[in-house]
Each structure stands twice: as structure tokens, then as C-alpha cells.
Amino acid sequence: MALARMLERYLPILVWLPHYRRELFSHDLLAGLIVTVMVIPQSLAYALLAGLPAVVGLYASILPLFAYTIFGSSRTLAVGPVAIIALMTAAALAGVAAPGSSAYIEAALVLTLLSGLMLTIMGLLRLGFFANFLSHPVISGFLSASGLLIAASQAAHLLGITASGYTLVALLSDLIAHLGDLHWPTLAVGAATLAFLVVMRRHAKTALIRLGFPERLADLLGKTGPVFAVAITTLICWRFDLATSGVAVVGDVAGGLPPLTLPGFEPALWKELLIPALLISVVGFVESVSMGQMLAAKRRERISPDQELIGLGTSNLAAAFSGGMPVTGGLSRTVINFDAGARTPAAGIVAALGIAVATLFFTPLLHYLPVATLAAVITVSILTLVDVQAMRRTWRYSRSDFAAMLATLGLTLIEGVEAGILAGVGLSIGLFLYRTSRPHSALVGRVPGTEHFRNMARHHVESSQRVALLRIDESLYFANARYLEDTVYGLIAEHPGLDHVVLICSAVNLIDASALESLEAINARLADAEVTLHLAEVKGPVMDRLKHTDFIEALTGRVFFSTYSAWRELNPTSAGTSQAVSER
């Protein structure tokens, strides 16, 4: 039994496959076929974006889908090359080899292998929670900046000029420098495709509905823009032989099934690609898992982040051994799969088989596909990443979250994707630590006639010259331990008549070893000043730990169950007497 459960955990396919019915298959077959047609242009485009031959994008859309079907926990996620990861791949490999060279392709396989190993190991170690350290504003800033970077890199292809670089400055200055080389026929193809795609995206669905198509079909047909664009521009390019007049085309694509590839082991290269592979893994995982969660929530299913790591890890391993490139759950291909009605990962198998057939037989047709068409496809889909709405909302809600977002955005544009994402993570963590390092605390007093206590600065409450009730609104840990000392010392310096200080710990969820030392210091110093220190409302788990410490032995005062009982006991004007203090 335990073995079966473990197998089910690590091989989610065992959960759905035994219950698979023919009825489900008709859904999955349709979805898989639709995905096949839709993702071919994308896959080619992202391989080019990564600086790799177009066919690599197809290879990376076959075996990884099988791996994800077996190991992935989301039922509708479709893996394959995605724009951000392609961009990061290009940036990572820039210093290693010349784009397009065989050393470059080899390095891409190593990068894919490393990423696959990292993801799989992280999954086995159950480190899925790591993804949480990328805050939403940082992800949003990073995606927006990546979208702009990718759009800038594609602008060159649309204009028929060459521009390279992985920062906005490098790309734009290169673009401007080469603006004289502008190639009008290429621009014509690019601009026409761009216009066609934008119109399809904005108006096709409503137009089709008005023509009487059912809504779901209209929605799906509205998304076929890229397929038509690819077909039409390829035909035009072939018919009018635009390639000879200088329009860049995909050219000869080596057909056939994905080759079996064995990424080489070259220690220096592995070491150099370690950090990029880690960043690619984390970014890919975060993008994929957020989307997976969103879609699972729509169908009342759940996905397991740890299992997703294994699913994505094995997908990348599969890509590494079949001439591919780093893959992850792609937003557009997953949405297409979901909208097309995929019920189980079997839809992914169908798509994988479909793409395999296409790779085997139809690659010659891609010879005349203009690169500008693919650039237009990328540009239109990528610009949706630039989320101005999220920026505005974040600005309104929290200035510091906005600062993290802006820094990530700016650094990604100026310094590149790796610097941007690292700075974003660092800043998110730093800001959180900074916020918690200066915890809010309040002197409280009793709401007259009740057992409730409220902030003296905000409410009219009863208080005492002799008893200070200090409510601490934060867990106590190393980053704020010294601040707590300062607060208490400031308190007794300002109130010379104090006999008792009660720390109200209702919001203290943790006291770490540093904070414990600070509490010991506070206790000793208050004792010197003849002020008694008490605690109140200490939470169960916190008290369990304090119980056996020297601090609680040395505590000059008591630990009260509630603020009210502390008040009653310590305040001579109420029922209890202050004698009670010396009890313990």
C-alpha cells in the first residue's frame, strides 16, 4: 500500500491512466491536434530567439511532453520552449560560444541538462517552497522587462537588420546604428504580419461570433492567427522568391526525428553555466507553477509544487538528450490546450506525436518561412507580459513593493535578465527584513469597564504611571532584537516612575535565540533599574520553548495568561494587589 502511494506520488500518471475512458480521449485528441498546429510557429520562433536552429524548438516540444505526461502533476500544463527562458538561454550562452555554432548548440544541451538535474533534485528534496521567495511584484517587473527586451530584439528581425545584445541599451544602440541597413521587403512582411496578428487578436473572436460561430469555436479560431500568418507569408515568400531579394528565411531545416544527444562533460563549461541554469530553473518553475495553480483552481484540482519540479526536471532531461533546449510550462500553449478542452496529460502525448510527425515530414515546407513572420508572432504574444495595470496597482498599495518591482524592471532592462532577477529577489527579502526589523509596538491601556486593551495613542483608555503595557506587533528575531531593547530602554528612560513593564506577546509567533538574549538583557537591565519585567499572552508554541530557558528562570516578574489579568494584578487601584508580583 505504502509503495503504491509513493508510486502515485512520484508518478502522477498512475492516478489518471487506470481510469482513462474513451470519452476523455476524444477531448484530449482534439486538444492535442489543436496544440500541434498552434505551437509549431512558436517553437520555431523561440529556438531562434535563443540563438539556436529553428528545428531545436520542435525537438524540444516532443520528448519533454512525454516526460511531463508521466511525472507532471498538472493535468493541462503544456511544456515546451517559452520566450523568457529562450531569452535567458541566449543571455547565458552569449559569453560561451558564437550563436548558431556547434559549440553553442552543445552548450545549450549542457544548460538544459543542468537545469533538468537541478529541478529534479530540488523536487526530490521537496524544495518547491523556494519559488515563494520570488514575490509577485518582482516576477511582474521581471516579466515586463523581459517582454520589452524580447520585443526590442525582435524589432531587428522585423526591420531586416542585425542587432544583438542582452540589455535594452545594447539592443537599442545597435538598432539605431544599423537603421541605415533597413530592408524594405522584410519590413513589409513583418509589418503586415504584425498588423494581421493584432487585428486577429483584437477582433477575430467578436467578428466570428457575429458571423454566427459558437463562442468556443470563435475563440479558438481567433487564436489561429499565427498559423495563418506562417502559412500565408511562407507561400508569398516562396511564390515571389523573396529570399533572393534579401528577406531572411528559416532555410533548410534538418528534418527527421529528434537525434539522441549526449551533453558533454566539460568542468569549466558546467561551472560557468551553473548559475544561469539555476536562474533558468527557478524562473521557469515559478512561471509554470503559477500558471498550473491558476488553471488547477479553475477545475477544483490541486497541483503539487514539489511534483511539478520533478515533472519539469524530467522534461528538461528529456530535452537535453533529444537535441532540445530548456523548456517549461508555456503560458500560451497551456492556455490553448486548456481552452481546447484537454482533460488529461494524454492531450500532451497527442501533441507530441503530432509535432513529431510534423518534424519528420513537413520541415521542408518551413524553408521559405520568413524570420520576420516569427518575429511578429513573438512580439505580439510577448507584449502581453508588459503589465502596466499591475504596476499601477502595486504603486497604489505599497511603495516598497513597487520599489522592488521597479528595481527589477530597471535592472533587467539595463543589466540583463540575471542581474534583474537576482536584484529583485535580494530586494524583496531585504525589504521584508527591513520592515520586520523595526516592528510596530504600542503602549496599550484598558478600555474603561472592559477586559479589552487598545493603543493609548489611538483611543481613550485607562493607564497607569507605574505599569507600562507594551504590545509587540511582530515576531522577535535577530533582525529586530536590538530594536526591542532600544524600545524598552527608551520607555523606562521616558517614564521614570515605572515599576512594571508588561510585554504583550499576542502577535509574537516566534522568539529566536538572538531575541532570547535580548530579552535576558532587558530583564537584567530593568532589574538594575528596579523595574519588574512581565510577559502576557504568550502563545502556546512560543511558551513551550521558553519554559526551559535561563531567561524564564531569571525573569523578575510573571507570565500572565491575559493582559487583563496582568492589569488586575499589577494595578493597585483594582482588585488585586501589587504584592502578587513577587510570587514567582
Provide the binding-site residues for a copy of itself, judged by CB under 8 A. Answer: 129, 131-138, 293-294, 297, 300, 302, 305, 393-394, 396-398, 401-402, 428-429, 432-440, 455, 458, 473-475, 477-483, 485-486, 489, 493, 506-507, 509-510, 512-514, 516-517, 521, 525, 529, 539-541, 545, 548-550
Q: How far is the CB of 315 from a copy of itself (least distance, A)?
A: 22
Nearer to a copy of itself among residue 212 and residue 540 (C-beta): 540
Q: How far is CA 408 from the centre of its chain?
A: 13
Terminal alpha carbon distance of the chain = 54
Q: How far is the CB of 5 from a copy of itself (least distance, A)?
A: 18
Nearer to a copy of itself among residue 74 and residue 89 (C-beta): 74
Q: Which H/E stretch holds residue 536? A: strand 532-536
Nearer to a copy of itself among residue 34 and residue 385 (C-beta): 385
Q: How far is the CB of 475 from a copy of itself (least distance, A)?
A: 7
Nearer to a copy of itself among residue 42 and residue 408 (C-beta): 408
Count other Cβ atoms within 10 Å, centred on residue 133: 13
Q: How far is the CB of 509 from a copy of itself (least distance, A)?
A: 5
Nearer to a copy of itself among residue 21 and residue 300 (C-beta): 300
Q: How far is the CB of 129 from a copy of itself (least distance, A)?
A: 6
Q: How far is the CB of 290 from a copy of itself (least distance, A)?
A: 9
Nearer to a copy of itself among residue 398 and residue 578 (C-beta): 398
Question: How far is Cα 17 from Cα 308, in angstroms, rounded to an integer?
Answer: 18
Q: Label the pairing between strands 532-536 and 500-504.
A: parallel
Nearer to a copy of itself among residue 25 and residue 483 (C-beta): 483
Beta strands in 360-418 (DSSP E): none
What is the number of H-type helices and E-type strands within the chain?
26, 8
CA distances, 415 to each of 91, 152, 407 (Å)? 11, 15, 11
Buried b / exposed e across 396-418, counting CB within 10 Å, b at 16+? eeeebbbebbbbbbebbbebbbb
Pick the closest to residue 226 from 178, 194, 252, 253 (CA basis).
194
Got the DSSP string for 65-84? HHHHHHH---SS--EE--HH
Q: Are 285 and 131 in contact (CB under 8 A)?
A: yes
Question: How far is Cα 119 from Cα 309, in angstroms, rounded to an integer?
Answer: 5
Nearer to a copy of itself among residue 58 and residue 138 (C-beta): 138
Question: How far is Cα 18 from Cα 81, in angstroms, rounded to an integer?
Answer: 30
CA distances, 155 to each of 47, 176, 242, 323, 337 (Å)? 17, 11, 19, 28, 29
Question: How far is Cα 30 from Cα 8, in angstroms, rounded to an integer?
Answer: 27
Q: How far is the CB of 477 from a copy of itself (least distance, A)?
A: 6
Q: Which H/E stretch holds residue 329? A: strand 328-329
Q: How far is the CB of 520 from a copy of itself (least distance, A)?
A: 10
Nearer to a copy of itself among residue 358 and residue 498 (C-beta): 498
Q: How far is the CB of 95 from a copy of itself (least distance, A)?
A: 19
Q: How far is the CB of 539 from a copy of itself (least distance, A)?
A: 7
Q: Are 299 and 137 in contact (CB under 8 A)?
A: no
Nearer to a copy of itself among residue 367 and residue 539 (C-beta): 539
